Structure 1
Amino acid sequence: MTAPDRAVGDLLRELAPQVLGVLVRRHGQFDHCEDAVQEALLAAAQQWPAEGLPGNPRGWLLTVATRRLTDEWRSESARRRRETEQAIADPEFGTEPLAPAPDDVEPATDDSLTLLLMCCHPALSAPSQLALTLRAVGGLTTAEVAAACLVPEATMAQRISRAKKTVKGAAGGFALPAGEARLERLPVVLHVLYLIFNEGYTATSGDDLQRPELAAEAIRLTRAVARALPEDGEVTGLLALMLLTEARAAARTDAAGRLVPLAEQDRTLWDGALIAEGVELISRALATSPLGPYQLQAAIAAVHAEAKSDADTDWAQIAILYGLLDGMAPNPMVTLNRAVAVAQVDGPQAGLALLAPLDADERVARHHRLAAVRAHLLEMAGDVAAAREQFREAARRTTSLPERDYLEKRAAALA
């Protein structure tokens, strides 16, 4: 792919949810709007690299997508045409023409937040909310969403289709919630963005440790939420967490793509600008907002980011912060991370004691990270044979090839 093609692709990825958000907000017919946007994106991908960018790319896409909708509706029955004309004539939807000229469209506002709120409808399960958001807002193909969620493509296609039908038939449908209903969806929106970023930062399967495009999209969308809600401490905390974590991305793999653990990373490769922005954001949030889980995670990331080396890490502070987080938002993954920090402060046996109850937690009992953390702490404790077996078990459980290679090498080093 040439540089112009990549630039066009990046621009289309950014504009797609904005255009879809406008159309869904106007017309409410998600499936039809999504199809129209996909046709507009295809036309742009074919024309723009050869002919150059239009003066108003967003307006161009909106015009083409709206015309596609108009053509579709004109091919339907007279009843459908009358309903469409009535809906468009409704003052609530504004009075702009169906097919405006590229320079005659509404102001270029980012409708990503609008679309996020629509996709995080309370009638949907968490997996469906995530899938629909990745598809509609993240701009991923159904195959890419399936890979991110570790399900077959056909299964994901059915899940997304059912999600659209569920929202269409639910109260409010694909309409932007107002007032308190809008705020009630915010925690779900943040959780979905958190999951998207995590999948981008550490892919759950495949040949690559990271999926940079997913992490970048999560950060972009979280920035959009932060612009809309600049005083919300948890929104700011989540953005800070992403930036501070993403700052380490370049140091997480070597030239061959092999995983490099935090303790061994070349910290000169960490992104100083992202760290500075993240530290500023979390410092402001902690000083002005009620404490929340995302702020605590960002504070932990900031402690790591500000350490000159692994030996300089303030593990005592990190252990305290994880203790607060475990009390505020109990989660087996939080407990795993807390066990590592506690082991650094109070010794490996203290960390292993925190892990013991997780063997009965079905959410994590068969997860590779439980075996990997236990292996690390057993190695710290000097139990080489047990550590080797746990590293092997962790390698068997993971579906990420870079993680599997790393864990197998750790086991081999203890042989």
Structure 2
Amino acid sequence: MTGPSTADIARAFREEYGRAIAVLTRVLGDLDAAEDAVQDAFSIAVERWPGEGIPPSPAGWIITTARRRAIDRARREAARPVKHAEADLLYPTSGDAFDSGAVVPPEIPDDRLRLIFTCCHPALAPASRVALTLRLLGGLTTAQIARAFLVPETTMGQRISRAKGKVRDARIPFRIPSPDEFPERLDAVRSVLYLVYTEGHTTSAGPELVDTDLCSEAVRLARVLAGLVPDDPETTGLLALMLLGESRRSARTGPGGELVLLADQDRSRWDRALIAEGQALVRRTLRWNRPGPYQIQAAIAAVHADAHTFEDTDWAQIVALYDLLFAADPTPVVALHRAVALAEVEGPAAALGIVDHLDLERYHVFHVVRADLLARLGRLTEASEAYATAAARTENAIERAHLLRRRDEVRDALR
């Protein structure tokens, strides 16, 4: 019987990366030291696990091994005996609580949530808060985060490095903020959780359409956050949005793993329990009468969930909700998605007139939408080119295969 492959080990580390970084940041008090230690633990696992197997508690093993490597590193770098004493005080080796896997102290709701709040400190620029937390919590690569922000990888790498330096130099504490500090932190924390979920919902790269572990982690943390601020409508709206998105997960791919578009999904496979919970949360936010972007997006998802078929969708209501969303969040991406809904109400020509004026050249979904609208208008040569451009701009293998199939179908129709 063969042991786990390097890919299996990498997957285990990816699943436990956020927890390991969060716990080690609390223990070591340094983000860079935590990342270095986890990387050291990964190198050791690649050597040992193929022969020994993946341990029953991968998180406990990773955290314990990483912590010990951090101790070794601190002692190697110690230039004087007093530094050894300091290392012993900082990283005591006796009574190691991590071997059991019970790595979250009971007085803290969640180390990962505490890491998010640390990275979302107001001393950091808003974009840096989100990027840093995606790197540390989700274990996303700099390239993946850059694609989520639609910026070059070098720009994102510099942004993350500056943010980590700011956390270190400003001695930003690793803790859940007090209630009076919540308002200034919540928006950034919600943005982080939403982007973590978005990355999981359709991964920016790799062989799978969905990263189920990342989606589940985002939903779990959103539940924890909603429990901390039960009367905050936007946090409730965010949780509703995630639950309604998760309700469609099993219908988004076919038997061979191929992408299934919303119009073609078997709605009997949608999770009705998640839909009911999400819609109940949407109704709850309506009672507060303080609409915000996450609540409006959740309301749009709830309208989709109400329709028994694609043709039954109340597109006029969805367009009206997108009008509200654009007023609250006037971005090109919102305008793009509004145009998709508008095409179902006023036709593809009206939608294309909007899309062609959006500055979203780097965003592959922009080219997907253009291709679909052009195909519906019979402009097949342009549609084929747009599908090819969209395929070239995504590194998700499932999406790329779907887009290349659509390109080929449009080309065949030209013959």
Q: Which TM bucket (shorter chain)?
A: 0.7 to 0.9
Is 1:238 aligned to residue 256 of structure 2?
no
Q: Is the 8 A contact 1:369 1:394 kept in 2?
A: no
Structure 2 Cα separation of the partners of residues 232 and 320 of structure 1: 24
2:146 and 2:371 map into 1 onto residues whose CA distance is 31
User: Quick one: distance in 2 between partners of 1:203 and 1:348?
Assistant: 28
Q: Provide the residue aligned with 1:334 in structure 2.
A: 334
Shift in CA distance, 126/255, structure 1 to aligned 2, threshold 3 Å = farther
Which residue of the other structure, out of 95, 102, 112, is the alignment partner of 1:100?
A: 95
Q: Which residue of 2 aligns with 1:376?
A: 372
Give the whole-Å Cα distance in 2 for the aligned partners of 1:226 and 1:11: 28
Distance in 2 (CA, whole Å) between partners of 1:230 and 1:23 is 29
Question: Relative to structure 1, is the Cα distance of residues 346 and 232 closer, same or farther in structure 2, using a 3 angstrom cutoff?
Answer: same
Decide whether the 8 Å contact of 1:208 with 1:402 is kept in 2: no
2:22 is aligned with 1:21: yes
Q: Distance in 2 between matches of 1:22 and 1:132?
A: 16
- Cα distance, 1:413–1:297 mapped onto 2, change above 3 Å: farther
Residue 297 (structure 1) aligned with residue 293 (structure 2): no
- Counterpart CA distance in 2 for 1:204 and 1:121 is 27
Alignment of 1:15-414 (within 5 A): 16-37=17-38, 53=56, 65-75=66-76, 76=78, 77-78=80-81, 80=83, 99-102=94-97, 106-107=105-106, 109-124=109-124, 128-140=128-140, 160-170=160-170, 172=172, 177-288=177-288, 290-358=290-358, 361=359, 364-365=360-361, 367-380=363-376, 383-385=377-379, 388-398=381-391, 399-400=393-394, 401-409=400-408, 411-412=410-411, 414=413
Q: CA deviation at 1:305?
A: 1.4
The two structures, once aligned, show a CA RMSD in angstroms of 4.1
Q: Distance in 1 between matches of 2:87 and 2:24?
A: 13
* Closer, same or farther: CA 241–36 of 1 in aligned 2, 3 Å: same
Q: Please tell me the residue identity of whatever aligns with 1:307.
A: A
Change (3 A) 1:291 1:310: same
Q: Deviations over 1:183-214 (max 9, x none)?
A: 32221222122222222222344554433343
CA distance 1:184–1:41, shift in 2 (3 Å): farther
Q: Secondary structure at the match of 2:210?
A: coil
How far does the alpha carbon of each residue in 1:217-252 deviate from its partner, in whole angstroms, 9 at most, with x for none?
332332332233333221221122122122222222
CA distance in 1, matches of 2:367, 2:143: 30
Distance 1:8 1:230 in 2: 38
- Give the TM-score normalised by structure 2: 0.77
Change (3 A) 1:39 1:342: same
**Contact 1:392/1:407 (<8 A) preserved:** no
Name the SS of the counterpart of 1:384 in structure 2: coil
Q: Which deviates more, 315-324 or 224-233?
A: 224-233
Distance 1:336 1:160, change over 3 A: closer
Point out the more displaced range, 188-197 or 104-113: 104-113
Q: Is the 8 A contact 2:370 2:386 kept in 1?
A: no
Determine the C-alpha separation between the residues in 2 that align with 1:62 and 1:372: 42
Give distance in 2, aligned partners of 1:266 and 1:201. Answer: 18
Q: Who is 2:397 aligned against?
A: none
Aligned residue number for residue 91 of structure 1: none
C-alpha contact 1:336 1:370 (8 A) present in aligned 2: yes
Matches of 1:176 and 1:80 in 2, distance apart? 31
What's the % identity of the aligned pairs?
Answer: 44
Aligned AA (1:342): L
Consecutive unaligned residues in structure 2, runs of 5 or more: 395-399
| Residue-by-residue CA offset, 1:360-411 (whole Å, 9 max, x unaligned) | x3xx14544334334434554xx312x5413422422442313422441452
Paired with 2:163 and 2:93, the residues of 1 have a C-alpha distance of 28
Between stretches 264-273 and 9-18, larger displacement belongs to 9-18
Report the counterpart of residue 92 of structure 1 in structure 2.
Answer: none
Q: Is the Cα–Cα contact under 8 Å of residues 303 and 314 in structure 2 kept in the other structure?
A: yes
The separation in 2 between residues aligned to 1:2 and 1:279, in whole angstroms, is 45
Task: Pick which of 102-111 and 23-32 moved more.
Answer: 102-111
Query: Conserved in 2, the CA contact under 8 Å of 1:168 and 1:174?
Result: no
**Distance change (3 Å), C-alpha of 1:196 and 1:22:** closer
Structure 1 residues 12 and 349: alpha-carbon distance in aligned structure 2, compared to 1, 3 A threshold: closer
Query: Which amino acid is 1:24 matched to?
Result: T
C-alpha displacement at 1:181, in angstroms?
A: 4.3
Bigger mean CA deviation after superposition, 148-157 or 202-211? 148-157
- Per the normalisation by structure 1, the TM-score is 0.77
> Which range moved further: 11-20 or 236-245?
11-20
Matched to 2:193, the amino acid is L
